[in-house]
Amino acid sequence: SIRNYLAQDGLQKELNQNNWKGVSRVLREQLDSGLIELNDENFELLISAESEQENWAGILSAYTLLEEESPQKANSLDALLYRAQAAEKLGKIKLSRSFYRKALELTPRNAEEKKKQQEIQNFLSQESLQQKIEKKKWKEITSQIYAELKTGKRKLDEENFNVLLYAEKQKKGKSKWDGILAAYAALGRYQKKSAETIQALLDQGEAAEKLGGRRRAKGYYEKALEKIPLKNVDQRLYVVNQLESLYMREKNYHHLARVYEAGYETLKNQKKRSKELRYFAFQIGYHRLTHLKQPKQARTWLLRADGGGASKSELQAVYWIYQLDRQTGNDEAALKRIREAAGRKIPTSSSWYVLIHYELGTLYHFRENWKLALKHYRFASKKKPAKEVQEYYNTAKERAREIEDYLKSMNQ
């Protein structure tokens, strides 16, 4: 008819001028007046016209028209995806998500559609997760991730694991530490190596310790210590400190000495940390001497603990070495050691001042070197001491008096 011809002519003019708004207007007028039907060709032309204009409302209304004519086509997977995207562009999030959910209800016809549905599922899941993160709903986050892992809707890749672990760490009390261990247990089922990195072992060690699982915690920390390079000084010392506390509580002196040796190994090339280095040497020497009954090994470590200063640990190390030398009958070495210590700048108010000069006086006394014995006994009894060395002070004072009397009698 003439009307149809004129209608087609009007549409063609708009197409020739790439006037997509005009194309859309003409098509809709012709559909409304019944001049044309919404067949596949006309629908594709209408959708193209609205898309060229980025007229998202027009796209949605076009699909509404299609739904009246052919509900099956309007609700195909690709159609629902396009409608969801258009609705989101308009800011109609609820409508957009309803289209996505409808798309998930369809039975996929091929591998490509199945893949698209998986992408939709991942998108909705991540969006849901993000909303929960923003609202700090940590328990809901972890529940969602575990549920989706169980059903296979989510893989525990690095990104998902980091979200899971972060959420577990935001919880409080026992739930937090249980959650951290559960997260790493899940990771271990997917990627065993990732659950045994240094940081992973440290996290698990801390969690196990907080839950009272000291044996389990030691296992994690020991593994971590084996893996941490010597150059990572602070990280190694952190682990040493954790193990020190654990082994100290159970009085496991053998392992405790081994942990201190790891600390010493960490610091032996750190010139600026000599004080800490001597601390580890002292602890090794102390435990090997007093608890493990290994005097020979203890002496080696005590020598390393003495830096020639007048700190309590250095003087204690010297004193123990002195005692070991005397016990083995090496009096010359003992005399040399205690004489050198007496020459250090030890405060006269210190208990060590009394003890060292008392021992030195005693050695000279045995050798009948009366003048030097008297000299050091006098040093030992110079000032009123602390209670812990009161007996040495009294004995030194008494012996000094006896030697004085003896020397006077010799001069008469």
Rounded-to-integer distance, Cα 318 and Cα 194, Å: 48
Rounded-to-integer distance, Cα 53 and Cα 137, Å: 41
The separation between CA 235 and the C-alpha centre of its own chain, rounded to angstroms, equals 10
**pLDDT digit string (tens) for 192-207?**
999 999 999 999 999 9
In this structure, how many other beta carbons lie within 10 angstroms of the beta carbon of residue 374?
A: 21
Q: What pTM was computed for the model?
A: 0.75
Each as own residue / partner, the long-range contacts of residues 266-269 (CB below 8 Å, 24 or more positions apart, any chain) are 266/230, 266/233, 266/236, 266/237, 266/240, 267/233, 267/237, 269/230
Nearest to 385 by CA among 352, 343, 336, 341: 352
Q: pLDDT tier at 10 (50, 70, 90 boundaries)?
A: low
Cα angle for residues 226, 229, 234 (degrees, 5° grid)? 100
Contact criterion met (CB below 8 Å) for 23 and 15: yes
Q: Which of 3-12, 24-33, 187-196, 403-412 has the highest mean pLDDT?
A: 187-196
| pLDDT higher than threshold 60 for residue 91 | yes
Residue type, 104: L
Nearest to 201 by CA among 174, 219, 183, 178: 219
Average pLDDT in the 108-135 region?
Answer: 86
- Residue 370 burial by Cβ neighbours in a 10 Å radius (0-12, 13-18, 19+): middle
Q: pLDDT tier at 412 (50, 70, 90 boundaries)?
A: low
Average pLDDT in the 262-272 region?
Answer: 95
Cα angle for residues 297, 300, 301 (degrees, 5° grid)? 90
More confidently predicted of 33 and 403: 403
